Structures are given as structure tokens and as C-alpha cells.
Amino acid sequence: MKRFHIFWFRFRRNRAAAGGAVVLAAILALAAFGPVLYDVDPFEMVGRPFMLPFDRYPLGTDVAGRDILAGIVHGARVSLMIGVLASVAATIVGVTFGAVAGYYGGKIDDILMRTTEFFLCIPSFVLAVVLVAIFQPDVVTVTIAIAVVSWPSVARLARGEFISHRDREYVLGCRAIGMPDWEIILLQIMPNALPPIIVVSSLMVATAILTESGLSFLGLSDPNLVSWGYMIGVARTVLRSAWWMAAIPGAMILITVLAINLVGEGLNDALNPKLRK
Amino acid sequence: MSQPVLDVQGLSVNFRTSHGVVNAVEDLSFQIGEGETVAIVGESGSGKSTAALALLRLIPDPPGKIVSGSVRLDGTELLTLSESEIRHIRGFKIAMIFQDPMMALNPVYTIERQIGEVLQLHLGMSRRERLLEAIELLRLVGVPAPEERVQQYPHNLSGGMRQRVMIAMALACRPRLLIADEPTTALDVTVQAQVLDLIQGLKDKFGMAVMLITHDLGIVAETADRVVVMYTGRKVEEGSVTEIFDDLRHPYTRGLLGAAKWEEGDGDMLREIPGTVPSPFDMPTGCSFQPRCPLAEARCLSDRPGLETFAPGREVRCFIAGEARS
């Protein structure tokens, strides 16, 4: 618990990170409680299309007369959920690959890292598009597709951390007391290697949200769910006559991604061992 | 001497590198009896740490490989054991303490947890038993206020305290053999003596065999019973402490001893052995010490000397050992 206090002290001292955390908390609250408090179906035609914001509906209506605020509120849930789940999945796969490759080295390392590089050298958005296009576009496949294009960077980072730790004396000490490899990897090296991985995967949430928005902009997302990217995609054709229709969800994406990045940077400063003491 | 605790015969360790195969340890044989301290002495790169790791089968493979030999602990051959069997030996029958206590403890766990790991792995103790035993072990190795220390992290402890914690971990299962790889190199001189006394005292208490790896001949003189001198992966001389200090026969041992002593009239000069340890990729012909040896003769350049046994436990690898008395 003492370690957590030190971490929290460092994190709070960083104003940008603290600000980002507040904004992020607000967006999380919006995603969690918004749909309950503002119970309007985002697909229902509630009025005349192209209504201005603050007219009859707080943010107006879109090309099909759908309430934009309802879309923002429901879209927050989808965007954040896909972003977080994809990052978690990518982190688990990436850390597993990286840890095994880094700890054992040699041929195992070669095989795992060549696999990783195979994924790295394909443009990630194109790969995500292809994956979603092959399978049915729904929440699960979109999440999986984003995770598939995101894990290689985590794997490389984790591998580097494990390589730097595997030859340290405490690891040799663990082997000298007869500890099995899995225990050394999971319980001994992992806690030491985790801080930079946490930072990268928190920043990855922002990238994942952007990728999801890009996919839904292209219409490659779950047709039964509203997301911010989908709203921008719908508003694209009327950008010149009704710019706010694209600008509102766009601003939401911008604010969310910015807040996550600020929090990630704050985590980095608070967890980075080079800045300790 | 009855059956020795540790019996190493003809141990050879190779490292395959991109420049070729290196013999890190070659045909090494020695024995350690119960309650005996054997010092392995040599310069950096002489293969002493590699030999120690080979006993526990901790040589990274690849690139390292134990190519031949036999390591018996109380009569049990260790080199043919399965991976899970050797894991049961590590930390249980053979314990090891390392050079740098700053590095050898995991920074993210408390002392209790780290000592507890050994107890859990080999003795299957419950959480409560582990805590009590950890406190008991810390008391045994002279850590003051063990009840508080046990809850602290490695960075809360000084170097000497950490080395005591390492010793406590090593002794947790009452091992038969303790390998101490330069246990005091990273410590202050004042703490060195305390740690060495501690190891000696515990050795007598538990009847362990101790393999002490060092390059500090002062430590050897104070703590060891017998000495094995290594050079370029080979044993060049073995004998009791008195034999090594009073009746040494190998010119390399003489050089080591000369470098360690400071005598009246030396002034500010540090004595040294001329030259450096040869590169493992570029071994000299004949005796590997020949380029640095003040007594080298023609045959030393062409032929490799074998180990010559003068008495049980008294061996020298030198052609002119008989003549080269001090």
C-alpha cells in the first residue's frame, strides 16, 4: 500500500495528468450512466433532420432525424468498451509472447519475434479493415481485429524488459533455490517489468478508440450499435452544410484520446524507474 | 576422510561462441568434506564462477554445456538428474550466495516473502510457519530486530544486512553444501569480516561443506581449510592452506601471493603478475601460464604439463614444480 501512496503522490503532482484523469472520469461516467439518464434510442427518428443544436434537442438531429446527443451518449459506451477490451486483449497476448521470447531467448525467441514482426510490417489499419471485412462486422470481431493489430508493440516492449531482467542476479538466485521457470516469469520478473507495459497499454486504449472510429467511419462496425466514428461517417456527406454533425462526435474522440494520453504520460512519469527518488 | 559431501571429477564446461568453442572449465576435480571450507582461487576469467554454476547445472545452455565429468553430492550423481530432480537439489541440498547482495534480491518483494519462497518450495510450509521461520533465520544470521526487518523491502537494508538475508535464505533448508561466490567483494571491509565469521560459524553449527570462491587471499588464509588455484579453466595447484602459503609450488600461485602481499621496501609500487590472462580464443601453446611465467623453459612452450600428485590432496600442474619451491 505504501508503494501505491508514492505512486499516487507522484501522479497527482502532474497537473496535466490529473486534469486528464478528471476528464477521463467524466467520459467514463457519461458512458456508464448517460444511456440510463438520457434514455433516447439513438436509432429512432425523433424529429425533422438537420435540426440545429439547442433548438429542440440539445445537440440537434442528424441527416435521418436522429438525436445526436443520444448517439454521443450511447457511442461513448461502445467506443470506450472496444478500446479498453482490445487493449487488454492485446496486452495479454503481447506480454505472453514477449515474456516467453525474452526469458528463454534462442530459437524460441526467434520464432516468436519473427511472428511478431510479420504482424508489425503490415500496415495496421489495413490489416484491421481486412480482418473485419472477412468476418462479420460486430463488436467482437472489431475488438479482436484491433487487438490483433495492437499486440506486437507490447510484445517487443515486454521482450526487452524480460531480456534486461533475465540475467540479473535475483533471477539467478531464484533459479539457484530451485524455482520453476513459470514462477520466475510470472511472479519474479513480471512485477519488475510491468510499469512500462502498463504505460504503453494505457496509451494503446487511445489508439484503439481511433482505430475503431476509423473502422466505423468506413461502415465496418456493428450495424446495431452507434459509435462516434459511425456518426462522423454518416455526417461526412453533409460536411459543408451541417459541419457540427461531424464536429461533435469528432470533438468527443479528440477529448477522450487526449485525456487518455495525458493519463498515460502521467503514469509513465509516476512509474518510470529512471525518474525515481 | 570418509565420503566427501561434494565430489567433482573431471568436470569440463564448454561455451560455443561465434568465434569458436571455449573451454571455460577443463578437467576439474576436487572434493569437499563435511565441515570443510575449500577456497577456489584465481583471477577473473579463470572459470571459478562457471565451475560453481555447473555444480547446480545453472550454466546457460546454449551457449554453455557441461561436456563431461561427474558431480556427486553425498554419492548422488547430479549431472544425470532430470530437470525437476535437480530443481529439488537447488536451494535444498546445495545453496548459493552471490557476489552482489544489492542485485540478488528481488526489489519488489519483502524479505519475508523472499525467504518464504525457499521454505515453500522445498519444505511446503504454511504462511504462518514461513513467517516464524523467516524471523528465526534472520535472528540466526544476526539481523537485529528481525520482526521488523522481515516486513521490509531490500532497499530498506544496508549491503551487509542484505548479504545476511541472502545467507539466511541459503541456510533455510540446512543445505549440505554452501557455494559462496565472492560473498564479500561488494561489502565494506569492516562488514566483510563479520559476514565471513558468520559463514564459518554456521558451517560448524550445521556441518555444511563450503565452497568459497574468491580472489582475496586474505580471506583464504583466514577461512579456508584447503585451496584450489585455477587458471584458464584448469586447476593448477591444490593443497591445504598451510601448504599453499608456506610451500607453494606453482609460479602462478606465487604470483597471486606476491600480488597480495605488500612488503617493506615496495614503496608505492603494487606488485602484479606481468601480462594478462590469455584470451580464450588465443590460448598459448604448451602451458597456458607460460607467457607470464618467470621460470618458463623450452618444454613449457611446447608441451602441456599434467597434474602431478605429491600427496593426497596435494597436486600441482607444472613441470618444474619439484624445483620451484619457495
The residue type of A158 is A
Residue B58: its chain A contacts at CB < 8 A?
Answer: 172, 175-176
CB contact under 8 A, B117 and A169: no
Helix/strand/coil (H/E/C) assignment for every residue in B197-243: HHHHHHHHHHCCEEEEEECCHHHHHHHCCEEEEEECCEEEEEEEHHH
DSSP B312: T
Residue spans per domain, chain A: 2-35+69-275
Q: Tell me the mean pLDDT in the region A248-252.
A: 92
Q: Looking at chain A from residue 140 to 169, which residues have their Cβ under 8 Å from any Cβ of chain B? A: 168-169
Q: Say which CATH topology domain A2-35+69-275 has.
A: MetI-like fold (1.10.3720)
Higher-pLDDT residue of B62 and B221 is: B221
Higher-pLDDT residue of A169 and A152 is: A152
CB contact under 8 A, B89 and A178: yes
pTM of the entire predicted model:
0.81
β pairing state of B177-181 and B209-214: parallel
Q: Looking at chain A from residue 217 to 246, which residues have their Cβ under 8 Å from any Cβ of chain B? A: none
Provide the pLDDT for residue A256: 92
Query: Of A90-104, A167-181, B33-47, B269-283, which has the strongest mean pLDDT?
Result: A90-104
**Confidence tier at B247 by pLDDT (50, 70, 90):** confident
Between the CA of residue A130 and those of A120, A158, B91, what are the distances in Å? 15, 27, 53
CB contact under 8 A, A177 and B117: yes
Q: Which of A124-128, A217-221, A262-266, B279-283 has the lowest mean pLDDT?
A: B279-283
Largest Cα separation within chain B, whole Å, is: 68
Q: Tell me the mean pLDDT in the region A103-114.
A: 92
> How many residues in total does chain B contain?
326
pLDDT digits (tens, 9 = 90+) for B128-150: 999 999 998 998 888 889 999 99
CB contact under 8 A, A173 and B96: yes
Residue A87 clears pLDDT 50, i.e. is over it = yes
Q: Tell me the mean pLDDT in the region A84-112.
A: 94
Percent of chain A with pLDDT over 70: 97
Residue A143 clears pLDDT 80, i.e. is over it = yes
Residue B54: its chain A contacts at CB < 8 A?
Answer: none
**Confidence tier at B266 by pLDDT (50, 70, 90):** low
Residue A170: its chain B contacts at CB < 8 A?
Answer: 103-107
Q: Tell me the mean pLDDT in the region B192-216.
A: 87
Tell me which residue in B62, B87, B121 faces A106 most closely, judged by beta carbons.
B62
Residue A277 clears pLDDT 50, i.e. is over it = no
Establish, for the pair of chains A and B, how many residue pairs have beta carbons separated by less than 8 Å.
60
Interface check for A178 against chain B (CB to CB < 8 A): the answer is yes
pLDDT digits (tens, 9 = 90+) for A202-244: 889 989 998 998 898 888 888 888 888 889 888 888 888 888 8
**Confidence tier at B269 by pLDDT (50, 70, 90):** low
Provide the pLDDT for residue B65: 86
Q: Looking at chain A from residue 22 to 61, which residues have their Cβ under 8 Å from any Cβ of chain B? A: none
Residue B180 clears pLDDT 70, i.e. is over it = yes
**Confidence tier at B268 by pLDDT (50, 70, 90):** low
Provide the pLDDT for residue A118: 92
Nearest to A204 by CA among A116, A39, A94, A51: A94
pLDDT digits (tens, 9 = 90+) for B22-51: 888 888 999 998 889 999 998 887 888 889
Q: Which of A207-221, B163-177, B265-279 has the lowest mean pLDDT?
A: B265-279
Query: Of A142-146, A238-242, B17-21, B221-225, which has the strongest mean pLDDT?
Result: A142-146
For chain A, give the mean pLDDT.
88
Chain B nearest C-alpha distance from A136 (Å): 45
Q: Tell me the mean pLDDT in the region A26-38.
A: 89
Using only the alpha carbons of chain B, give its radius of gyration. 21
Provide the pLDDT for residue A242: 86
Provide the pLDDT for residue B324: 46
Q: Tell me the mean pLDDT in the region B186-197.
A: 82
Provide the pLDDT for residue B325: 47
Tell me which residue in A106, A169, A179 faces B117 most closely, judged by beta carbons.
A179
Q: Tell me the mean pLDDT in the region B178-199.
A: 84
Provide the pLDDT for residue B183: 84
Dist CA B275 CA A167 (whole Å): 31
* Residue given cell 600480488 in the structure block: B259
Q: Tell me the mean pLDDT in the region B5-33.
A: 88
* Cα-to-chain-centroid distance, residue A35: 21
ipTM: 0.79
Residue B75 clears pLDDT 60, i.e. is over it = yes
Residues of B with CB under 8 A from a CB of A: 56, 58, 62, 86-92, 95-96, 98-100, 103-109, 117-118, 121-122, 166, 169
Percent of chain B with pLDDT over 70: 94
Interface check for A188 against chain B (CB to CB < 8 A): the answer is yes
Q: Tell me the mean pLDDT in the region B283-290.
A: 84
The 8 Å CB, 24+ separation contacts for A180-183 are: A180/B87, A181/A103
Dist CA A228 CA A250 (whole Å): 7
